[in-house]
Chain A
Amino acid sequence: MASVLAAADRARLSWRARKFIKQLRHGDEVAHLITLLAAASIIVVTVMIVYQLYVNSALPRHKFGFEFFTGRTWDPVSGDFGALPFIYGTVVSSALALLVAVPLGVGAAIFLSELAPTQISNYLTFIIELLAAVPSVIYGLLGIFVLVPVLRKVVEPFLKSTLGFLPLFKGPIYGVGMLAGGLVLAIMIVPFIISVSREVLMAVPVEQREAALSLGATKWESTWQVVVPFARVGIMASVFLALARALGETMAVTMVIGNNPTINPSLFAPAYSIAAVIANEFTEATGDLHLQALIELGLVLFLLTILLNGLARLVIIATTQKGVQTQ
């Protein structure tokens, strides 16, 4: 090897080639190429997924057009497919989950990074990260055998008797339904929010806290007005990760949401999500139109994820304080 390079040197390469080899030796070009390939491959995979979903959903796209998004019937027998109830179920259950999980998760992360003794914080974080590794079917089973009976016997009757005048809490109580789906999702995504938010909060430089404290801020003022805004971008990232998981979650949701494609304002009513109907019906879908309608639902979920991610970004930007710009 060395003799080859020596021979090359002897051949008096031009200045440009020497520079290239020098860079090559320092690894810049190689690292650039490898990381570029890594980034490009992810984009290629994404584009290929969208392309496949698009190509394989030609039948329902031509038959229903835009009405696929507004149709409320899902009838595999007569071949009439509309995605609206599934879009509704996916959006509302994920929103419900975020509504519960974001305050809970960010609160827990603040406690763990700022207030709890390091030792305790490490133990608790370990336990929380274990939660993230629990398979979703386990959450579903816990949902159906533990959460749903509690909802049916205690929580939902209480909500109905106190807040029953709201359309959100009207109608018959089954236990399974939108509320159960949202709550199981919330439990599932909380570990993501806690784990990522805690890391970013802990990465805030100590000087930031010290500066705030030295100006006479209390511990809480320094945490809430300096540390949290500083970590805002990272906390946002944790919420997106959680939202993505909530939108795509299948097993746990289908076990507790009731699986009925209806649009009902009541949180007690059964609902259905996109991921759940795809998983439920794909294996036994024998007709081409049915199968392709399910594939088109996959495409809809993809679009929905992009749309909701953008929306969540706007909401967070609008509602949180601006902090010191993180670099």
Chain B
Amino acid sequence: MKLKTSITSIALGVVLVALGVCAFVESPSATPAPAPSPALLLNGTGATFPYIIYSKWFTEYNRIHPDIQINYNSLGSGAGIRQLQAGTVDFGASDAPMTDEQLHQAKVPALHFPTVMGAVVPTYNLEGVNQELNFTGEALADIFMGKITKWNDPALAGINKGIKLPDTDIVVVHRSDGSGTSFVWTDYLSKVSKEWETKVGRNASVNWPVGLGGKGSEGVTGLVKQTPGALGYVELTYAIQNQLLYGRVKNSAGVFQKADLPAVTAAAASEAKKIPADFRVSITDPSGKTAYPICTFTYMLIPAKIDDPAKKKAIKDFLHWMLTDGQNDAEGLSYARLPKDVVARELKAIAQIN
């Protein structure tokens, strides 16, 4: 009996293996069967900040051009740059432009295309204060360095006349995850404070002199909402969508400017002449009177040379669409659109892809 069952099981095993081998051998002939015209697939990786508008653009573009499908992985700007350098994606995306060194490391030269703009705003939680507070860049730098520690410090009281600021400790809240938001924030503080630039510097993650770290915009907001006396920073998009109270910041023309979408576009417009041919520029602390000072472009990173002609055409067509029709989607999703002259220059730059 026992012998019989084990023989049966061996036989069964052999049959199963044989079936498996057959399936394996047959499988290649089975795969190239589906959809008559397979969609062209473009893969991208990069920043999380523009994820919402990118996914809207890619879905919409796929609806207009069913033969083109664009996949976007929002793994972060670092991953976007790294994968573009390695050539494992068709395009990358980043909040901060690539450095010269990073460009040098890429297999194929990379082109920068600004897509939309974002801003970073100071948000706070102060008992008895429901008004929009005024901030200056210098005061923000001193607060984030731990030099100003009280809300009623003269540096804050002097620019907020008529608001009774309490004698509460300022609890600084920053992003703990590496983020384009932190890059813009520290880039701005570096421009307005020499001390910040030398002691801390600008990066997606820095060695914060003081404060608590919250993970993501939601982490920062959670900490700010819960901690009396807290001061943090979040993306404008996030602040608008979650109806957070955020402050005005004094721009270099001396105006305390509230961040809204036109004020962000104005920042890029006022800097338009300074934007270099490769669009790699920081537009924080701009000169315009109506400009909000803590703004940034977010970029798509496109290889300058694309071998596959179908892919090349698809990417060029998409960029063209994104810079024209696509821009109209920006405001509805709380992103600031690009100023007209930047769009015009980018449309010309598309020709550099070959």
Measured CB to CB, the residues of A under 8 A from B are 1-2, 5, 25-27, 73-78, 144-145, 148-149, 152, 172, 174-176, 251, 254-255, 258-260, 270, 272, 276, 279-286, 290-291
Q: How far is the CA of A1 from the CA of B178 in the complex (A)?
A: 63
A77→B178 contact, CB < 8 A:
no
Interface residues of B in 22-63 (CB under 8 A from A): 48
| Neighbouring B residues of A290 by C-beta, 8 Å | 205
Given A27-B6, A174-B171, A284-B178, the answer on whether A270 and B212 have CB atoms closer than 8 Å is yes
Q: In the assembly, what is the distance between CA of A19 and CA of B11, in Å? A: 20
Q: Is B3 an interface residue (CB 8 A)?
A: yes
> Are A286 and B212 in contact (CB-based, < 8 A)?
no
**In contact, A259 and B213 (Cβ under 8 angstroms):** yes
A260 and B212 in contact (CB under 8 A), knowing A283-B75, A284-B76?
A: yes
Q: Which of B214-222, B241-249, B252-260, B323-331 contacts A (4 or more CB under 8 A)?
A: B214-222
- How far apart are the CA atoms of A77 and B201 in the complex, in Å? 6
Could you say which of A144, A254, A272, A286 contacts B77, with CB atoms under 8 Å apart? A286
Chain A's closest residue to B211 (CB) is: A260
Task: Using known A-B contacts A144-B222, A148-B226, A176-B223, determine if residue A259 contacts B176 with beta carbons closer than 8 Å.
Answer: yes
A176 contacts which chain B residues (CB < 8 A)?
212, 223
Apart from A25-B3, A76-B204, A258-B213, list 5 A-B contacts with CB within 8 A.
A148-B226, A149-B226, A254-B176, A272-B213, A284-B178
A76 — which chain B residues lie within 8 A by C-beta?
Answer: 178, 203-207
B3 neighbours in A (Cβ, 8 Å): 25
B72 to chain A, nearest CB (A): 14
Q: Nearest chain B CB to A305's CB is how many angstroms away?
A: 23
Contact: A284 with B78, CB < 8 Å? yes
Residues on B lying within 8 angstroms of A by beta carbon are: 3, 6-7, 10-11, 14, 48, 75-79, 81-82, 99, 102, 169, 171, 176-180, 200-208, 211-215, 219, 222-223, 226-227
With A and B bound together, what is the CA distance between A254 and B220 in angstroms? 12
Determine how close the nearest CB of chain A comes to the CB of B227; give it in whole angstroms. Answer: 6
Per CB-CB distance, the 8 closest pairs between chain A and chain B, nearest first, are A259-B213, A284-B178, A283-B76, A259-B176, A77-B201, A75-B207, A284-B204, A1-B11
- 27 A-B pairs with CB atoms under 8 Å apart are A1-B11, A2-B7, A25-B6, A75-B207, A76-B204, A76-B206, A144-B223, A145-B222, A152-B227, A174-B212, A254-B215, A255-B215, A258-B213, A259-B215, A260-B208, A260-B211, A280-B176, A280-B213, A280-B215, A281-B177, A283-B178, A284-B76, A284-B180, A284-B204, A285-B204, A286-B82, A286-B204
CB-based contact B7/A284 at 8 Å: no
Bound together, the chains give a CA A211 to CA B301 distance in angstroms of: 75
Question: Complex Cα distance A284/B45, Å?
Answer: 12
Q: Given A280-B177, A283-B78, are A1 and B171 neighbors across the interface (CB < 8 Å)?
A: no
Most chain A CB inside 10 Å of its own CB: which residue of B75, B212, B215, B222: B215
CB distance from B145 to the nearest CB of A (A): 14
Task: Give Cα A49 to B179, complex, Å.
Answer: 27
Given known A280-B205, A283-B177, contact A1–B77 (CB-CB < 8 A) = no
| CB proximity of B119 to chain A, nearest CB, Å | 19
Number of A-B contacts (CB under 8 A): 116
Chain B residue at smallest Cβ distance from A279? B177
Residues of chain A with a CB closer than 8 A to B11's CB: 1-2
User: Across the two chains, which residue of chain A brings its CB closest to B75?
Assistant: A283
Instruction: Tell me the bound Cα distance from A251 to B75 in angstroms.
Output: 16
- Taking a contact as CB atoms under 8 Å apart, the answer to whether B227 and A1 are in contact is no
- Which of A5, A74, A174 touches B207 (beta carbons < 8 Å)? A74
A199 to B3, CA, bound (A): 38
A9 to chain B, nearest CB (A): 12
Q: Which of B7, B201, B203, B219 contacts A5 (CB 8 A)?
A: B7
Q: In the bound complex, how far is the Cα of B3 from the Cα of A272, in angstroms? A: 62
CA separation between A291 and B203, bound complex, in Å? 14
Q: Which residues of A contact B179 (CB under 8 A)?
A: 284
Could you tell me the distance between the alpha carbons of A167 and B219 in the complex, rounded to whole angstroms?
28
Asked if A259 contacts B178 (CB within 8 A), the reply is: no
Q: Does the CB pair B177–A175 fall under 8 Å? A: no
Which residues from A are CB-within-8-Å of B180? Answer: 284
A281 to B77, CA, bound (A): 11
Q: Which residues of A sit under 8 angstroms from B203, Cβ to Cβ?
A: 76-77
**Neighbouring B residues of A282 by C-beta, 8 Å:** 78, 178
Asked whether, in the complex, the Cβ of A255 is within 8 Å of the Cβ of B219, the reply is: yes
- Complex Cα distance, B245 from A314, in Å, reads 53
**A1-B11, A174-B212, A260-B213 are contacts. A284–B177 as well, Cβ < 8 Å?**
yes
How many Å lie between the Cα of A148 and that of B215 in the bound state?
15
Cβ–Cβ < 8 Å partners of B219 in chain A: 144, 254-255
Closest residue on chain A to residue B3 by CB atoms = A25
Contacts of B102 in A (CB 8 A): 286
User: Of A77, A148, A270, A279, which one neighbours B200 at CB under 8 angstroms?
Assistant: A77
Q: A286, B78: Cβ atoms under 8 Å?
A: yes
Identify which of A75, A78, A258, A283 gathers the most chain B CB atoms within 10 Å of its CB.
A283
Instruction: Determine if A174 and B227 form an interchain contact, defined as CB atoms under 8 angstroms apart.
Output: yes
A75 to B211, CA, bound (A): 15
What is the CA–CA distance of A253 and B199 in the complex, to the nearest angstrom? 29
Q: Specify which chain A residues have a CB less than 8 angstroms from the CB of B99 in the assembled complex.
A: 286
Q: Which residue of B lies closest to A75 (CB)?
A: B207
Is B79's CB under 8 angstroms from A270's CB?
A: no
Residues of chain B contacted by A283 (CB below 8 angstroms): 48, 75-79, 177-178
Pick from B176, B206, B212: contact of A77, CB below 8 A. Answer: B206
Q: Which residues of B contact A27 (CB under 8 A)?
A: 6
Q: Which residue of B lies closest to A140 (CB)?
A: B215
Residue of B nearest to A250 (CB): B215
